[in-house]
Amino acid sequence: MSSHRIHNFNAGPAALPLPVLEEIQAGFLDFGGSGMSVTEVSHRSKWFDDVINDTVDRFRRLLQLDDRYHVLFLQGGASMQFCMVPMNVLPDGASADYVDTGTWSTKAIKEARTLGKTVNVAASSEDKNYSYIPRELALDPQAAYLHITSNNTIKGTQWHRYPDTAGVPLVADMSSDIMSRPLDPGPFGLIYAGAQKNIGPAGVCLVIIRDDMLGRVPETLPSMLKYTTFSAKNSMFNTPPCFAIYTVQLVLKWLEDTVGGLEAMATVNRKKAATLYDLMENDGFYRGTAAADSRSLMNVTFRLPDEDLEKRFVAEALENGLGGLKGHRSVGGCRASIYNAVSLAAVEALAQFMKEFARRNG
Amino acid sequence: MSSHRIHNFNAGPAALPLPVLEEIQAGFLDFGGSGMSVTEVSHRSKWFDDVINDTVDRFRRLLQLDDRYHVLFLQGGASMQFCMVPMNVLPDGASADYVDTGTWSTKAIKEARTLGKTVNVAASSEDKNYSYIPRELALDPQAAYLHITSNNTIKGTQWHRYPDTAGVPLVADMSSDIMSRPLDPGPFGLIYAGAQKNIGPAGVCLVIIRDDMLGRVPETLPSMLKYTTFSAKNSMFNTPPCFAIYTVQLVLKWLEDTVGGLEAMATVNRKKAATLYDLMENDGFYRGTAAADSRSLMNVTFRLPDEDLEKRFVAEALENGLGGLKGHRSVGGCRASIYNAVSLAAVEALAQFMKEFARRNG
């Protein structure tokens, strides 16, 4: 079956590896010899048990998680975690530190406060429109946790070195750069990530939680809002989002078996990002919006000399098979999201187009 | 592409219409000429806008919903609604009536009470292991709502006539029989349904809510836990479960355009259920577990003379291409779930097998 395909630079939902899509397509009417689609098999069947267990195992191997960590699959995206995290692991009477790097961390702070929880903003880059990652943090050594957003899809910023918290557990929203580079899980008490950028389709949210954080979960929460419900039942207290988890499984298989793991993935990702940032630095036509030391390897945000040119850039790029380059509606400009599944060849095609567009319009 | 397919009697996730699966498969690498998979397109794109708007329109037409009703797509399944319903529409100080018909309604009651809400159990069929739908209800005319589970997948019971509440809004978990028959939405203030039985795959939960119920939603709830967040943003406050919604769209298109709507669907469903219930009544080998006036048209639950025979029945059925016939692990026995997507031909094949199995073992 041959299909028209574009290079997809969407911020999320985003590109998935073509071999993953082809495997889903090929077996869509008969999953693993079951005689049913993967969308039709029971979550209480051996077929789905194999899917979810293999997915968990692959996360454990790729992220080198020891037995203290639990790998869970929830619904509602990272936005649901903005309230679930403080409900579960920020006890009344305690306070948590949050670093505000814009948009998503701002929302996470707002939702914690909506619950009546005490939040200390340990640092913010609001003074420069969130174009950088703060280095000076006013950390509370008694904080229940320090919350960060590892990568900001909208502002194009990313933490390149995680802060030293002297034992306070890190909690991170890693929706937009999870599995894009090796990770030392040690400092993290909880990691969450909506799947639809680096690890799968929309509809499932990864939560990795450590024993000590699970121990904080109040028994009084509704079942579906407490992490212990999911850890006790291998994420199957109720019907999980089976298709989304299955797709995540295939993405991890591709990452492990075809790409060769997180170190190999990071090498490709650094090369992709350098291709675009180098072009912008040497060019003068495109202007990156993030501070050089805070640039995201996942979301490359940039402006052109004026908004008319930006509109034409996005439109002409699409005509050339390069989609999803419009910046987020809240900030304008342009953005190339170059997650794991976006190939180096796709980025090189974009760079080529950018050079030609600059030459014609510079 | 030809595939091995079985007749699928799973309780959920469950059978989907073959033409729906084939359409998903055919366009999986290039959705609507976008050059992307439906799992890769942005939820902020015209492609996905068309999907979600058409899905809402089809629900409105099929269920004859007037402008007071809002059609929303949430995550977390019906289980998440067990807590969201009382959080949103059961004000502190008020109480709600619940009818306990087992399993799911029992859980709904438990979750409301976990929140500290006041629940009055207006009737229960626990005295006979939930094998019937109660007729005598002790209703409170001041109740905030009356909650029912329209169909119990595990006990095989179904409401065939909804109770008269004299103006108190009905709230119904319709996960397992939504769209299986025509509905007068008038008495309902809120309807919710996990998709994975009659309308789609796991991973999306339909919520239909009326203006007056939306008006009760407390502003103080976290964003992802209040219905107003979803109604204000056409279910796209954050990234929705795009693939699951797209599949629901195709199921509704099949229901509307191929089957011919809910009246036509109900005719087929009655015929399917009668095929199995008539066989059990005339046979003596199979024993239905639900009271005759409460039998579900969706989940036909039955026992064989002993458990060994039940095991052999399930195993031999699968060898004959008839899958998913084991009863829920909490009750044992056998169960044939015959949702919309299970064809009359599939049910006739099952009936044929049942007759032969009884003859050989009776």
Could you say which of B259, B281, B311 is where a domain stops? B259
pLDDT of res. B283: 81
A176/A313 same-domain check: no
- Regarding an ipTM greater than 0.85, the answer is yes
In a domain, A3, yes or no: no
* Mean pLDDT computed over B131-153: 97
In a domain, A7, yes or no: no
- What CATH number should be reported for the domain holding residue B349? 3.90.1150.10
Task: Give the confidence band of B1 by pLDDT, cuts at 50, 70, 90.
Answer: very low
User: Based on the number of CB atoms within 10 Å of its own CB, is B167 exposed (0-12), middle (13-18) or buried (19 or more)?
Assistant: exposed
Tally of CB atoms within 10 A around A112: 23
Q: At what angle do helices B344-361 and B307-319 cross, to 10 degrees?
A: 130
Indicate whether A153 and A239 sit together in one domain. Answer: yes
Q: Are residues A148 and A279 in the same domain?
A: no
- Which of B34, B37, B85, B104 would best serve as a mutation to test chain A binding (most A beta carbons within 10 A)? B37
Which stretches of A255-336 are DSSP H helices? Answer: 262-283, 307-319
Start-to-end Cα distance in chain B: 41
Handedness of CA B262, B267, B272, B278 (dihedral sign): positive
| Structural domain that includes position B265 | 261-361
* Biggest CA pair distance of chain B: 64
Of A13, A16, A329, the CB nearest to B242: A13
Q: How many CB atoms lie within 10 A of CB B1?
A: 11
Domain boundary residue, one of A205, A237, A259:
A259
Could you tell me if B210 and B68 are in contact, meaning their C-beta atoms sit under 8 angstroms apart?
A: yes
* B116: closest chain A residue by CA: A220
Could you tell me which chain A residue has the CA closest to the CA of B74? A76
- Cα of B236 to nearest chain A Cα, Å: 11
Give the DSSP letter of residue A295: B
Are residues B76 and B158 both part of a single domain? yes
**Among partner residues B1, B77, B223, which is closest to A79 by beta-carbon distance?**
B223
Say which of B117, B197, B226, B326 is annotated catalytic: B197
Q: Name the average pLDDT for chain A.
A: 97
- How near does any CA of chain B get to the CA of A168, in Å? 26
**CATH code for the domain in which residue A227 is found:** 3.40.640.10
From chain B, the residues in CB contact with A28 under 8 A are 21, 24-25, 28
B320: phi then psi, degrees, rounded to nearest 5 = -95, 20
Interchain proximity A13–B323, CB inside 8 Å: no
Average per-residue pLDDT in chain B? 97
* Catalytic residue IDs of A: 104, 173, 197
Are A279 and A143 members of one domain? no
The pLDDT of residue B331: 85
Q: A250 with A291, same domain? A: no
> Does B3 reside within a domain?
no
Nearest chain A residue (CA) to B39? A201
Q: What is the pLDDT along chain A (362 residues), one digit of tens a residue?
A: 457 999 999 999 999 999 999 999 999 999 999 999 999 999 999 999 999 999 999 999 999 999 999 999 999 999 999 999 999 999 999 999 999 999 999 999 999 999 999 999 999 999 999 999 999 999 999 999 999 999 999 999 999 999 999 999 999 999 999 999 999 999 999 999 999 999 999 999 999 999 999 999 999 999 999 999 999 999 999 999 999 999 999 999 999 999 999 999 999 999 999 999 999 998 889 999 999 999 999 999 999 999 999 999 999 999 999 999 999 988 889 999 999 999 999 999 999 999 999 999 98
| Together in a domain, B217 and B357 | no
Same-domain pairing of A113 and A167: yes
CA distance A243 to chain B (A): 7
> Which of B259, B293, B327 finishes a domain?
B259
Task: Sort out which chain B residues have CB atoms less than 8 A from A21's CB and list them.
Answer: 28-29, 37, 39-40
| pLDDT, average across residues B281-289 | 92
pLDDT tens digits along B190-202:
999 999 999 999 9
Q: Cβ of A21 and B34 within 8 Å? A: no
Whether residue A9 lies inside any domain: the answer is no
pLDDT band at B2 (very low <50, low <70, confident <90, very high): low
Contacts of B12 in chain A (CB under 8 A): 42, 239
Q: Is pLDDT above 70 for B185? A: yes
Beta carbons of B341 and B16 less than 8 angstroms apart:
yes
Q: What share of chain A is helix, strand, coil (3-state, %, to 5)?
A: 40, 15, 45
Cα(A50)–Cα(A341) distance, integer angstroms: 24
A238 falls within a domain: yes
Same domain, B77 and B153: yes
- Let me know if residue A65 belongs to a domain: yes
In-domain check, residue A1: no
pLDDT recorded at residue A2: 58
pTM beyond 0.95: yes
Q: Cβ distance A333 to A290 under 8 Å?
A: no
Same domain for B140 and B107, yes or no, is yes
User: For B126-241, where are the alpha helices, taking DSSP H only?
Assistant: 211-214, 227-232
Contact state of B241 with A242 under an 8 Å Cβ cutoff: no
Is B1 contained in some domain? no
Tell me which residue of A333, A282, A345, A327 sits closest to A303, measured CA to CA.
A333
- Report the number of distinct structural domains present in chain B: 2
Q: How many other C-beta atoms lie within 10 A of the C-beta of residue A138?
A: 11
Taking contacts as CB-CB distances below 8 angstroms, the residues of chain A near B1 are: 26, 29
The answer to whether B361 and B315 have CB atoms below 8 angstroms apart is no
State the nearest Cα–Cα gap between B339 and chain A, in angstroms.
Answer: 12
Is B284 found in the same domain as B217? no
Using a CB-CB cut-off of 8 Å, the residues of chain B touching A26 are 1
Alpha carbon separation from B236 to A53, A76, A175, B61, B250 (Å, rounded):
31, 11, 17, 22, 20
Chain A residue nearest residue B18, CA to CA:
A29
Whether B159 sits among the annotated catalytic residues: the reply is no
Distance in angstroms (rounded) separating the CA atoms of residues B231 and B91 = 20
The H-assigned helical ranges of B126-261 are 211-214, 227-232, 242-253
Residue A25 sits in the same domain as residue A146: yes
Contact A5 B247 (CB under 8 A): no
Closest CA to B273 of B258, B294, B254, B259: B294
Closest by CA position to B191, among listed B176, B202, B201: B176
Best CA proximity match to A213, nearest among A89, A92, A41, A98: A89
Q: Quick one: B75 exposed, middle or buried, by C-beta within 10 A (0-12, 13-18, 19+)?
A: buried
Phi, psi of A7, rounded to the nearest 5 degrees: -80, 125
**B13, A42: Cβ pair inside 8 Å?**
yes
